[in-house]
Homo-oligomer: A and B are copies of this chain.
């Protein structure tokens, strides 16, 4: 394995004393090749240290063995400080882990793509269409995003994690966010809370609005027609601020549903600062069951979001659609579950 140019099919063919075509057949396991030649070729492969050039192969087969993980944002300028936070959040890693658990087994690679501008999205779709990747898993952050529709229009195999904000004929996996929020409501009510508030995420993001409506609906069903709500942006800081605001408005609160664990962590901080005991004075319930939940003090009762499973399913859906592009548009909704810890 010297380090000049990498050996090519041609080289192997020369060493084996056969034609390029034959080597290609052997490598790709196509029958109709004499077992003897078969062996000769593999010997030559070993001797030369040959590894097929994936690019060249993809160019002709129109298959890359690569799937794009697209993080779709809507930034204005390129130095988006938000992205740093996004990657640091366990959310991203859990998705990657879930995806890899199935892609890896299939020998499919994951290429990370971040797009913000509409220009970037256009180019992304173009790249995808011209075979840059076989398909895309899409994580759409902005409340309204043209990307899902562009992908659908361009007939690019794609699966979203989290439903699109606008109805678009595209596969997706999602969590029954409303059910999860309802479970939180039931739990708080069941443990005797009567003055319950909510710290929500941004109202225009689907996952967030579903949690809001699910929670309100469940509360209303039990006679609480109005729920004091302050919204944050899913960061710990915003949760802390929101909790302070909520407390200022409703000092007698005895329970709060926080739309994700990170904000719940912040809320816990604000609560400690105001000398309220959790859960004795006020019960706190989070959402996601991220690693932050177990790290919190007290450990967070939360709604489990089976993100790894969802991502894995997204990968499976995508692989299936790549294999068979005419499949009917599908969606898979996961049911959340309540994880009972100490905070509520």
Contacts and interface: CB of A to CB of B under 8 A. Distances in A.
Interface of A: 1, 3, 6, 49-56, 58-59, 64, 66, 69, 78, 83-84, 86-90, 92-94, 96-97, 100-101, 104-105, 109-114, 123, 126-127, 129-132, 153-155, 236, 265, 291-292, 294-297, 308
B109 A6 contact: no
11 contacts: A1-B153, A3-B153, A50-B126, A54-B127, A78-B105, A84-B97, A86-B97, A100-B112, A111-B111, A292-B292, A297-B297
A123 B296 contact: no
* Stoichiometry, copies per complex: 2
| Pairs A-B, 10 closest by C-beta atoms | A51-B126, A297-B297, A87-B97, A87-B93, A53-B130, A3-B155, A110-B112, A6-B130, A295-B295, A111-B111
Contact of A55 (B58, B129, B297, B308): B58
A320 to B, nearest CB: 20
Contacts of A66: 111
B87 A53 contact: no
A3 B111 CA distance: 23
Interface of A, helix, strand, loop or mixed by DSSP: helix
Given A49-B126, A112-B112, A295-B295, 15 more contacts: A6-B129, A51-B123, A51-B126, A51-B127, A54-B132, A55-B64, A56-B59, A78-B105, A89-B90, A89-B93, A89-B291, A90-B93, A100-B112, A109-B111, A297-B297
Contacts of A126: 6, 49-51
Nearest to A86: B97
A58 B297 CA distance: 52
Nearest to A85: B97
Nearest to A51: B126
User: Considering residues A49, A52, A109, which has the most beta carbons from chain B within 10 angstroms of its beta carbon?
Assistant: A109
B83 A92 contact: no
Contacts of A59: 53, 55-56, 59
Contacts of A53: 59, 130-131
Nearest to A261: B295
A83 B97 contact: yes
